A = this chain, B = another copy of it.
Amino acid sequence: MTRYKLTIAYDGTKFHGFQRQNDLRTVQGVLEKALTKMTKGQHVDVVGSGRTDAGVHAFGQVIHFDYPGQMPAQNMLKAINSLMPLDVLVKDSAIVDENFHARFGVKRKTYQYRVDCGYYTDPFKRFYTGHYPYKISVDKIQTALKDLEGEHDFTSFAASGGVIENKVRTIYSATCVYNKNNDELVFEFTGNGFLYNMVRILVATLLEIGNGRRDVHDFLRLFEVKDRQEARGTAPASGLYLKEVFYD
* Chain A residues at the B interface, C-beta cutoff of 8 Å: 9-11, 57, 81, 86-89, 91, 120-124, 126, 128
**In-complex Cβ contact of A123 among B11, B121, B122, B126 (8 A):** B11
Residue numbers in B under 8 Å from A120 (CB-CB): 81, 89, 91
Shortest distance between the CB of A83 and any CB in chain B (Å): 13
Give the oligomeric copy count.
Answer: 2
In whole angstroms, what is the CA distance A194 to B222 when docked?
59
Contact A87 B126 (CB under 8 A): yes
Pairs of residues from A and B, 5 with the lowest C-beta to C-beta distance, nearest first: A11-B123, A86-B126, A87-B123, A89-B123, A89-B120
Apart from A81-B120, A89-B123: 10 A-B pairs, beta carbons within 8 A:
A9-B122, A9-B124, A11-B123, A11-B124, A57-B124, A86-B121, A86-B123, A87-B123, A89-B120, A89-B121
Shortest distance between the CB of A158 and any CB in chain B (Å): 29
Shortest distance between the CB of A79 and any CB in chain B (Å): 14
Residue numbers in B under 8 Å from A86 (CB-CB): 121, 123, 126
Residue numbers in B under 8 Å from A87 (CB-CB): 123, 126
In whole angstroms, what is the CA distance A9 to B121 when docked?
11
